[in-house]
A and B are shown apart, each in its own frame.
Chain A
């Protein structure tokens, strides 16, 4: 089976940096995805890591350590529109398995 853990809620200030952690346990690994989901909307793709290291895409970066079963999503220069749930998802040779998501609130 697979266990994916991420914090339930986080709050951060507009303009700041926030790091959302994700730990996972799986017997096989094909990659780790991060999705963003605004309330009442579909999840949208943010990033994909299959090798160790940092992937940077504008204000968003994602890091992976396969040996530690650990990933994080880093959001810089936070904006109010970044208030959403952030879903960590692990892939083996089966479809994506999602964590419960981290609800991020950005405050002024």
Chain B
């Protein structure tokens, strides 16, 4: 597609339920990132994929959060036993290549999924 696509755009779920958030990156982008953004805050890093593998998952807050990218394209962020504190906008971004030391490539963001846990 022309840009990074995230679905659903909005998700309301009950506390304790399981949710999946989907990200479809720009075609050909090998790097994919998940961020979480609360109101009035900057995006908070969660996990980064280079191809199919999670290159850095140090931002995942706990073991209720998990993400996959089985074919190196679409990614799914999975949250188990949701809590009210998980309510936020979940942003996905992709970029061409991770880049060598000293180089970085621009990350393109999707519109995000607004998750509300009630």
Interface residues of A (CB under 8 A from B): 4, 30-31, 33, 41-45, 48, 50, 87, 89, 91, 93-101, 103
Query: Cβ of A43: which chain B residues have Cβ within 8 Å of it?
Result: 43, 91, 109
Is there contact, CB below 8 Å, between A50 and B109?
Answer: no
Is there contact, CB below 8 Å, between B42 and A87?
Answer: yes
User: Nearest 8 pairs between A and B by C-beta?
Assistant: A98-B42, A42-B109, A95-B48, A100-B42, A45-B106, A31-B104, A101-B42, A98-B43
A3 CB to closest chain B CB, in angstroms?
12
> Which of the residues B41, B45, B104, B111 comes within 8 Å of A101, measured between beta carbons?
B41
Is there contact, CB below 8 Å, between A41 and B111?
Answer: yes
Q: How many residues of B contact A (CB 8 A)?
A: 25
Query: 18 A-B contacts, Cβ less than 8 Å apart?
Result: A30-B103, A31-B102, A33-B104, A42-B111, A48-B106, A50-B102, A50-B103, A94-B56, A95-B33, A95-B56, A95-B107, A96-B33, A98-B35, A98-B42, A100-B40, A100-B41, A100-B42, A101-B40
Bound: A95/B110 CA distance, A: 16
Is there contact, CB below 8 Å, between B41 and A95?
Answer: no
Query: Cβ of B108: which chain A residues have Cβ within 8 Å of it?
Result: 45
Is there contact, CB below 8 Å, between A94 and B48?
Answer: yes
Proximity bits, B95-106, A CB within 8 Å = 1, else 0: 000010111101
Chain A residue nearest to B59 in the complex (CB)? A95
Query: Cβ of A31: which chain B residues have Cβ within 8 Å of it?
Result: 102-104
**Any A CB within 8 A of the CB of B112:** yes
Query: Cβ of A30: which chain B residues have Cβ within 8 Å of it?
Result: 99, 101-104
**Any A CB within 8 A of the CB of B20:** no
Is there contact, CB below 8 Å, between A96 and B41?
Answer: no
**Any A CB within 8 A of the CB of B44:** yes
A75 CB to closest chain B CB, in angstroms?
18
Bound: A98/B40 CA distance, A: 12
Given A31-B102, A45-B108, A98-B43, 20 more pairs with CB closer than 8 A: A30-B99, A30-B104, A33-B106, A42-B4, A42-B110, A42-B111, A42-B112, A43-B43, A43-B91, A43-B109, A44-B109, A45-B107, A50-B104, A91-B104, A94-B48, A94-B56, A94-B58, A98-B45, A100-B42, A101-B40
